[in-house]
Chain A
Amino acid sequence: MILPLRMEAVSFAAGGRAIVGPLTLDIAAGPSTIILGANGAGKSVLMRLMHGLLDPTSGSVVWSEGDPGRVRRQQAMVFQHPIMLRRSALANVTYALKVAGVPAVERELRANEALREVGLLQVANRPARVLSGGEQQRLALARAWALHPEVLFLDEPTASLDPSATREIETVIKAFDAAGTKIIMATHNLGQARRLGDEVIYLHQGRVLERAPVDQFLSQPGSAEAAAFIKGELPWV
């Protein structure tokens, strides 16, 4: 177990401008965590700080597991725009398994199982880059699925997809949750937050303004900023 994750007085600045923090957060196993906030609130940066893609300017990000290699292997991240290598869908998944140190004999089996999970088994041998946007995003989820991560970060995974592709992605995210993976997802789609999330962390100008169960947050936001955000986003739910 690499959870819980503790962020202690973490801040991140770029070019002399504070983008996130200072903030202190504990992320425990279990409930799906949705990071909500307007564009520029620092959602993506916060997730990258958690995932280790960015180093905090000050403060510390500490997992309960001490071995950095294991911490790395127990996390996966799905980005808004999936990046696929110029090889088959299957090979993209086996590549990730190879990097993770999975023995060669297991890779194809696990990759196929992951592709079946996201409904892409029939395109396993197609080049990944010629798949549709929704299929590529599902492939990104399959790549993460095959790794059996303890924590899955999702950075607005459906922001550039149509409603039907979005539904398919959400189904897979629910399957991750059901399989025991901790979901940490940034979105500004309130409907999605309600469908997939258990708790909400609301970011405003790089700070955590509110943390509450999703139903409570949406019905009775505890701050004027959050209320305005919900009101502003509602027409698009």
Chain B
Amino acid sequence: MFTQFCGHYLIHKNLLTKEQFDEIAKSESQTRVKLGLIAVSERFLTDSQASEINRLQATMDRRFGDLAIEKGYLTHEQVACLLDLQGNPYLSFIQTVIDKKYLTLTEIEKALTDYQKEFQMSDEDMTAIKSGDIDKTASAFIKIEEPYYADLFGLALRNIVRFITPRIYMDKVYQTNAYSFAHLSSQQMQDDHNVFLGIAGEGNALLSIACPFAQEEFATVDEDVYDAVCEFINVINGLFASELSKQKIEIDMLPPLFYSNQTMKSNKQFYILPVYITGVKVEIIISIDYDFEII
């Protein structure tokens, strides 16, 4: 997931081309992050110390960590920490970008600093995003105090990763009381709580969910596409209802509905999370216990 976030931001800033990003995404899983790069990134070593160890490695056939300990540059604990980090997706991405000579570490770190400022992310948020963990990442983008919203958004994201693709990233959740859309698939649940979950998209965006979920090649948004996205929403809602039932909270699912070229309005603000699925933007809409209408 970190690759998606960082990669698309770098494309947006014209620091990477789409073709370069596609190459990175294809090859990064095969890249082993070098311990020296991790040590510099974590500020355990300076650039020159890492370079010195790398030169020694070339002539002595010894492990980086062992050499760094002998030179007094790292402790055993630090080496253990670095070894843990070697599987980190953030570092894997950086390693791939550097190996391909698209950008330097300094350029990447500057871009991430700019990203953090531009999107007003805290250091904790950035740590979460760099982890590549969907739930930790979601916590950086979904900060809602009202109950159930974060749970349902998180469930939707995990199911997108599970059933659709792990190649997703998101923008921060926002609120509105009027939302116009081209295409919307949705389902309501009622009883102890009234819950609305919808997924909307412009143009053919809903195909990014419908095609992989239904395992069919749809060409344009039609009733079958709406239906496929509705079925995906039904799965999410079922899991949500199941979780609530463990807390003795009952909600019952209504038949899904779909709409086109309309506006959802409420007297209270509801929440929208923009999600990019292989670069295609859809929006997840959730309203809980507020009246709304679609006109």
Whether both chains belong to one complex is answered with no
